[in-house]
A and B are shown apart, each in its own frame.
Chain A
Amino acid sequence: GAVVSQHPSRVICKSGTSVKIECRSLDFQATTMFWYRQFPKKSLMLMATSNEGSKATYEQGVEKDKFLINHASLTLSTLTVTSAHPEDSSFYICSARDGTGNQPQHFGDGTRLSIL
C-alpha cells in the first residue's frame, strides 16, 4: 500500500527554536498533502492543506506565519514551527493523497514535538 514517511519522529528543543518536519510520499506522487495536529486524547485537527507548487491553505485559527508549509515537489512537504513555545508541544501528523477524488489519505507516523 501507499507509504508516507515523516521525519523526525520526535523532537525535544528549547523555547524559541524553529523546528522543521518533513513528510514524504514514498511510492506515489501527492499533489496534496495535509498537516494535522493531535492533542492528548483528542481527534486529529486539520491545520493546513499543502498543494504542490502553490501556497498552503490554512484552517481557521492556524497562524500561517507560525506554521510555515512548503510543498516543493510532488513527494515532499515540510512544516516548520517557527519560534516554538511550550504551547506548540503536540503530536503533528502529515498525510498524503494519491489523486484528487475519493481516495484515502495515507498518514505518516507523526512527530512528537516537545518544547521545553
Chain B
Amino acid sequence: DQQVKQNSPSLSVQEGRISILNCDYTNSMFDYFLWYKKYPAEGPTFLISISSIKDKNEDGRFTVFLNKSAKHLSLHIVPSQPGDSAVYFCAASARAAGNMLTFGGGTRLMVKP
C-alpha cells in the first residue's frame, strides 16, 4: 500500500516557466512533508518542507503548497532553470510514528533551455 504517491513519473518544462510537481498521500496521520531533489548516483538533497499547520511555505524559487482536505501537496519552481533537472521526491512523516519518512516514487523533471 503506497501511502505517498507521485503519479507523474516525468515532467518536461521550458526554461523560465513554472514547474509544478504533485504528490498525494493517504495517511491522515502525516503531519510533516518534505521535498528532496536527487541527481543520479547521489543522495537526495533537502529542498523545502511544510508542517501540517501551514498551507504554504516559500523559499526563493521554491514554494510548497499543502491541501490537507485533499491530502495533496505540490512543489512549484519558478522560474525553472536547466540546473533544476533532477528527480524530485516528496516525503511525509508522522510524529506519532517516530517521524519516519515515507517517500513517493519520484518525478523526473527535465527543464529544457
Contacts and interface: CB of A to CB of B under 8 A. Distances in A.
B23 to A, nearest CB: 12
Given A108-B43, A110-B43, A44 B34 contact: no
Interface in B17-69: 31-32, 34, 36, 41-46, 49, 51
B57 to A, nearest CB: 12
B32 A49 contact: no
B101 A46 contact: yes
A106 interface: yes
Contact of B42 (A102, A104, A105, A109): A109
Q: How large is the interface on A (under 10, 10 to 19, 20 to 34, 35 or more residues)?
A: 20 to 34
B33 to A, nearest CB: 10
A75 interface: no
Contact of A109 (B31, B43, B95): B43
A107 B51 contact: no
Given A42-B105, A43-B89, A43-B105, A100 B99 contact: yes
Interface residues of B, number: 24
Nearest to B108: A41
B11 interface: no
A110 B42 contact: yes
Nearest to A9: B41
Given A42-B105, A43-B103, A43-B104, A102 B51 contact: yes
Interface of B: 31-32, 34, 36, 41-46, 49, 51, 89, 93, 95, 98-106
